[in-house]
Structure 1
Amino acid sequence: MTLVIGLVVHRSHHRLFQEAARTLTGVRLEWVDYEAEDEIRARTAGLLDRQRLDGLLLGPVPYARCRDLLPPDLPVTVTRSAGLDLALAWCRALARGWPATPVSIDTFDQETVDEVAAALDLDRERIACLPFDPDQPVAEIVEFHRRFLDRFGGRYVISVRTGVVAAFAGAVPVLSGLAGLGTIRAELHELALRSQSKRASERRFAAGVFLIAKPERSANLDRARIGLMNMLLNTPEYADGWIEDRGRRGVIVFAHQALFEAVTHNWVSLPVLAQAQDTLGVRVVAGFGVGPSARTCVALAERAANRAEQDDSPGAYLIEESGVMIGPMGPAGHPLHFTYRAHGAGIERLAERVGLSPATLSRLAAVERGLDGQAVSPSDLAGSLGITDPSGRRLIRKLSESGLVIPEGSAQVNRKGRPSRLYRLGIGAALAAGATAPAGPGDAAGGDGGRDGDGPVDGGRRDG
C-alpha cells in the first residue's frame, strides 16, 4: 500500500521541498502550505481530518503550533537547520563581499553557532545568537536583530523565520539559514523508512487465543464455544483474521499485529470480553502472542491466555518473543461494532442493490474503517480481502457502478509501469444515509450473520 506523508511548509519553500521529494518512490505527498503562522494549526487539523497519514514532516514553528493535534503513534520528523546550513549562509555573505561579522543569527542553537564560528575562525564576540523559542513572537526576534544592528553596525542577519524576512524586506538583507536540499532529502527518506518500518511492524504475524475460563462451571461448553466464535465472526474488527476452534473451550484467531492493536485499543482493553460475559454468560480470557512464526505466536498466545486465566475477572495478556508481557487488559472500553445485523436492514438493502452479499459488504465496511479515510488501490484492496488482483479490480468496478467508491487520482508506486488508480471507499457514508430505515425482524446483533459468503472474498475466515 502506498505510503502517505504530509508536509507542512511555508508557501515560499514549497518548491524546495518538492525538489527534495523528487527521489522518493512509493510515497504520496499531502501538502499543507501556509503564508502566515496563524494559519498553520487550522490547515494541519484539516489535513489530519481528511487524510490518514503514515508520516508527517514539518519545521520547528509548525510543530510548535500543532504538536497537540498529532496522533501519538504518527511518525514525525521536525526539519532543523544544521551547522552546514549556517556555514553555507556565511559563504553566501562572503560571496557578496560582506564581512563575516558582525552578524545577528536566530533559530540556530548556541552550540551550533559556536562550533561553526570556531571552525571558520570568526570573532565570537561580534556574533549574536537567539535560539529558537516556540513561544517567542516574530516581533521580538526582529527587535533582537535591530538592537544588534544598531549597536555593532552589522550589514545583514541570518534567519530561518519567514516573518523576519518579511519584516526586514527592502531595509536589511536577510540570508536564509533554512535546511538545504540535501538535508531535507535525507530527512524525508529517513521518515519514509520509519513509516515503512512501522507499517511492517503492524503487519507482523500474531495470534490470539480466547478461552472459556472455569469450563467445569459451564453447563454446555460446546454451545458457549460456538457462541464465542460467532461473536468474533460477527465483529467487523476481526474481519481480516482467520478464526478457528482451539479445543473444546477455546477459539484461536490468526491475524496481523495491527488488528489486535486495534481491538485492544493498543493493548489497553478488550471490550469483547465484557460482551461475552453479558451475552453468553461465561467468563472469557484471552492471550496474544507476537513472534517470527505461527508456531511461536500460538505458543506465546497460549501462555498469555493461561496467565489471564489465573486472574479472577475477565482479562487478557500479550507476550512477545522478547519476553515482554503486557497486561492485564480489562474488559472496559468502547465496545466494538457487530456486523451488518447491527445496522438493521440498511446494509442488506445496500448489498442487494450493489450485488454483493451482506457479509462481503460488511468486510468492506471494516476495511474502510481501518483505512480511516485513506485512499486505496484495487491491488491493496484485494490484499486486504485475500482475493486476487483481477477480483479486486472487478470489485472496484462493481462498487463504482453503485457510487460506493470515489476516484482519488493515482500513485506511482514504482518508477516503471503505469500509475495505480486510487479510490476512497464510501460504504460508511451510504450506511449512515440509510440509518433511519426501520429494522426488519431478525435484524438483532449476533446469530450466524457473517456466514453467507461471497466465494473467495470471504476466504480469509472460516465463515464460508
Structure 2
Amino acid sequence: MVIGIVVHSGQRGCFAEAARTLTGVSFAWAVYEREAEIRDRVGDLLATGTLDGLLLGPVPHARARDLLPPGLPVVITRSAALDLALAWARARGNGWPATPVSIDTFPDETVTEVAAALGLDRAAIATLPFRPEQPVGEVVEFHREHLERTGATYVITVRTEVAAALDGRTAVLPAMATPGTIRADLHDLVSRVRSQQADEQRFAAAVFRAPEPGAREALRQALSELPELADAWIDEHGPRGVIAFAPAGVFETLTQHWVSLPLGEMSGFHGTRSPAANSAASGRPPSPEETGTTTAESPSPAVDGTRAAGSSPAVDETTVAEPPNLAEGGAAFRDEAGLADQRATADGAAGPGTPRGRGPAAGFGIGASARSSVALAEQAADRAERDGSTIGYLITEDGMMIGPIGAAGPPLAYTYREHGGLEELAVRAGLSAATMSRLAALERSLAGRPISPGELARALGITDPSGRRLIRKLGEAGLVAADGSAQPHHKGRPTRLYRLAIRAALAPGGDR
C-alpha cells in the first residue's frame, strides 16, 4: 500500500514521526515551500499512478482538490482542540498572558470550547476560521490589525507561510497538528483504503437488457469484447438480458467509477465505445467531430446525476455517486442545470411520441451472495428501463442507489455548489464532502434518534475505532452533541450516545 502525503517542508519531520508506527505501508511525499507550489507538487505525486490513498491538510486540499482522481481515498488532517490547548500551554511556559490573542484557521466553536476549558476570556480572543479561497495576505493582515489594536504579545497560527510573514515582527506560536493527531488520521486513511480494497473484491452482478429480444446476441457479443470484462462470466439472462459476474472493482472500472457506460446509443444495437469515450480513456479531450451534435437518430444520453437511497432517505443535494471519492475522499456535485439541458435536448431531438428507451439498460448489484447480487442488479435494471435511454443504476445491499449512470460520451463536468454548505462543513471537520453527505443522509434516516459510535461505524461501513474518531472530529466541529448513554447489555460500561447536528448547521442561519 502506498500513501501519498502532502506537507510543508517545515512539517515533514512531524509527519514522518507519525508515519513510523504504520507497518506494511510505504509513503510518497509531495513537499512544498510555498502555497503557490502545491498544485504542481500534488500533480507530480498523482502522476505516478501508484497511490492508494492521500493525506493532506486543508490548505493543500483547497488548492488542489480538482486534481484528485475519482475513487482515491483522501483524508484531510487538521489541527485539533488539543493542538490549540498545547499552544496556549507554551505561551504560559514563556510567561505570556493567555489573552489578548489572535488565532487563525481553527473553527470558532473549537476556540470557544478550549477557551472555556482553560477559563479564558473569549471576548479577548480574535479568530479567523479557515476558508478554502483564503489568501495568505488576508490572514497576515488579520493578525497585524489585531496586534496594532490590542498590543497583544503573540499570535497563534496553523499556516507556516503566515508564521514566516510575521516572523521578526511579533512572537508566533504554531499550532500545527501534533504527531498524535496526524497518526490517528493516517490510521483512519489506511483503514479506509483496506476497506475499499476489500469492497472491490466483493462479488457483484450486472444485468444488461437489450431493447428487443433480437438484439440480445449482439449485446452479449459486444460485452464479451470489452477488455474490462475479459475475465468475467457472461451468459444469457431472460429473453432480452445478458448477465455478467465479476468483482465489484471490475464494474467500477468499466463504468469509470459509476459515471458512464461503454455502450453506444442505438436504433439497431452497436456495442462499441463512442469516439468521445475513447478520447476520455486515452486522456485527450474529444474533438467537435467526436462529440457531434444531437440529432433524432442519435439522442444524447439522458442523465440527471441524482443519487437516491433505496431503504434510506437521500441527501437533498443532487450528487454524483462517488467521484471524486464518494466513498471517502474529496467530493463534487454535478452541474444540475447543464444536465437538465442535456435531458431536454435528448427528449426534444427524439420528437414527440418517440420512445426514449432506444438503447440497452444496465443494472449493477453488490450483495452478500450471488443470489442477492443478481436480485439487486435486476432491480437496478428495472429502474434503468423505466428511465429510458442507455443508462444504468447500481444498488447495494445496504440500500444505497447510485445513478443514473450515463452512456459513454464526452467527459462529464462537475462543479461545486455555490452555497458550499456541505463543503464548508466537511473542511471544518477535516472530512470529505462525500462523507459529510453520507452523514447528512444518515441523520435524516435517524429522525432525531441518537446513535452510538459503534452504530455510526456500522452504518458507514467503517471500523469501530474509525467511528469513534469520526465522532471526535464531528464534536470538535460542532456537528454532533452528546445525548445520554445506553447499556444494551447487562455487563460492561454504558455506551455514550450522540445526536448528529449537520442539518441544523446547513439550515439558513445555521452555524457554518
- TM-score normalised to structure 1 length: 0.62
Q: Structure 2 residue aligned with 1:29, among 24, 27, 30?
A: 27
The Cα RMSD (Å) is: 3.1
**2:60 equivalent in structure 1:** 62
Q: Structure 1 residue aligned with 2:243, among 231, 235, 252?
A: 252
Q: Structure 2 residue aligned with 1:235, among 226, 229, 235?
A: 226
Contact preservation (8 Å) 2:265, 2:389 = no
Q: Structure 1 residue aligned with 2:409, among 333, 338, 341?
A: 333
The amino acid that maps onto 2:248 is Q
1:261 has 2:256 as partner: no
The amino acid that maps onto 2:244 is V
Aligned-residue sequence identity (percent) comes to: 58
From the superposition, tell whether residues 8 and 309 of structure 1 become closer, same or farther in structure 2 (CA, over 3 Å).
closer
1:142, distance to aligned residue in structure 2 (A): 2.7
**2:122 equivalent in structure 1:** 124
Q: Structure 2 residue aligned with 1:44, among 16, 21, 42?
A: 42
1:306, distance to aligned residue in structure 2 (A): 5.6
**1:143 equivalent in structure 2:** 141
Cα distance in 1 for partners of 2:201, 2:36 equals 38
1:273, distance to aligned residue in structure 2 (A): 5.5
**2:397 equivalent in structure 1:** 321
Cα distance in 2 for partners of 1:108, 1:327 equals 37
Q: Structure 2 residue aligned with 1:77, among 61, 64, 75?
A: 75
What SS does the corresponding residue of 1:67 show, helix, strand or coil? helix
**2:269 equivalent in structure 1:** 277
**2:155 equivalent in structure 1:** 157
Task: List aligned pairs for 1:21-420, cutoff 5 A.
Answer: 21-215=19-213, 218=214, 225=217, 227-246=218-237, 250-272=241-263, 274=265, 277-278=269-270, 284-305=360-381, 316-324=392-400, 329=405, 331-333=407-409
Count of matched residue pairs: 325
Cα distance in 1 for partners of 2:169, 2:104 equals 18
Encode CA deviations 1:292-320: one digit per residue, 9 max, x unaligned. Answer: 00122223334544665677755544443
Cα distance in 1 for partners of 2:63, 2:16 equals 23
Contact preservation (8 Å) 2:79, 2:175 = yes
Contact preservation (8 Å) 1:213, 1:284 = yes
What SS does the corresponding residue of 2:61 show, helix, strand or coil? helix
1:89, distance to aligned residue in structure 2 (A): 0.7
From the superposition, tell whether residues 327 and 176 of structure 1 become closer, same or farther in structure 2 (CA, over 3 Å).
closer
From the superposition, tell whether residues 28 and 332 of structure 1 become closer, same or farther in structure 2 (CA, over 3 Å).
same
Encode CA deviations 1:322-361: one digit per residue, 9 max, x unaligned. Answer: 45555665544379xxxxxxxxxxxxxxxxxxxxxxxxxx
1:65, distance to aligned residue in structure 2 (A): 1.3
Contact preservation (8 Å) 2:263, 2:408 = no
From the superposition, tell whether residues 241 and 170 of structure 1 become closer, same or farther in structure 2 (CA, over 3 Å).
same
Contact preservation (8 Å) 1:101, 1:123 = yes
Return 33-42 or 57-66, whichever deviates more.
57-66
The amino acid that maps onto 1:278 is H
- TM-score normalised to structure 2 length: 0.56
Encode CA deviations 1:92-116: one digit per residue, 9 max, x unaligned. Answer: 1212222223322222222222222
1:249, distance to aligned residue in structure 2 (A): 6.0
From the superposition, tell whether residues 172 and 202 of structure 1 become closer, same or farther in structure 2 (CA, over 3 Å).
same
From the superposition, tell whether residues 147 and 229 of structure 1 become closer, same or farther in structure 2 (CA, over 3 Å).
closer
Q: Where does structure 2 lack aligned partners over 5 or more consecutive residues?
A: 273-357, 412-512
1:236, distance to aligned residue in structure 2 (A): 0.8
Cα distance in 1 for partners of 2:157, 2:359 equals 64
From the superposition, tell whether residues 328 and 170 of structure 1 become closer, same or farther in structure 2 (CA, over 3 Å).
closer
Contact preservation (8 Å) 1:273, 1:285 = no
Encode CA deviations 1:352-403: one digit per residue, 9 max, x unaligned. Answer: xxxxxxxxxxxxxxxxxxxxxxxxxxxxxxxxxxxxxxxxxxxxxxxxxxxx
Return 40-49 or 163-172, whichever deviates more.
163-172
From the superposition, tell whether residues 20 and 232 of structure 1 become closer, same or farther in structure 2 (CA, over 3 Å).
same
From the superposition, tell whether residues 254 and 174 of structure 1 become closer, same or farther in structure 2 (CA, over 3 Å).
same
Encode CA deviations 1:187-233: one digit per residue, 9 max, x unaligned. Answer: 11112222222232232211123345533xx3xx8xx63x5444333
Cα distance in 2 for partners of 1:331, 1:288 equals 14
Contact preservation (8 Å) 1:160, 1:176 = yes
The amino acid that maps onto 2:233 is W
From the superposition, tell whether residues 273 and 207 of structure 1 become closer, same or farther in structure 2 (CA, over 3 Å).
farther
**2:449 equivalent in structure 1:** none
Q: Give 1 or 2 for the bigger CA radius of gyration.
A: 1
The amino acid that maps onto 2:31 is D
Q: Where does structure 1 lack aligned partners over 5 or more consecutive residues?
A: 336-464
From the superposition, tell whether residues 334 and 228 of structure 1 become closer, same or farther in structure 2 (CA, over 3 Å).
farther
Contact preservation (8 Å) 1:273, 1:315 = no
Return 319-328 or 92-101, whichever deviates more.
319-328
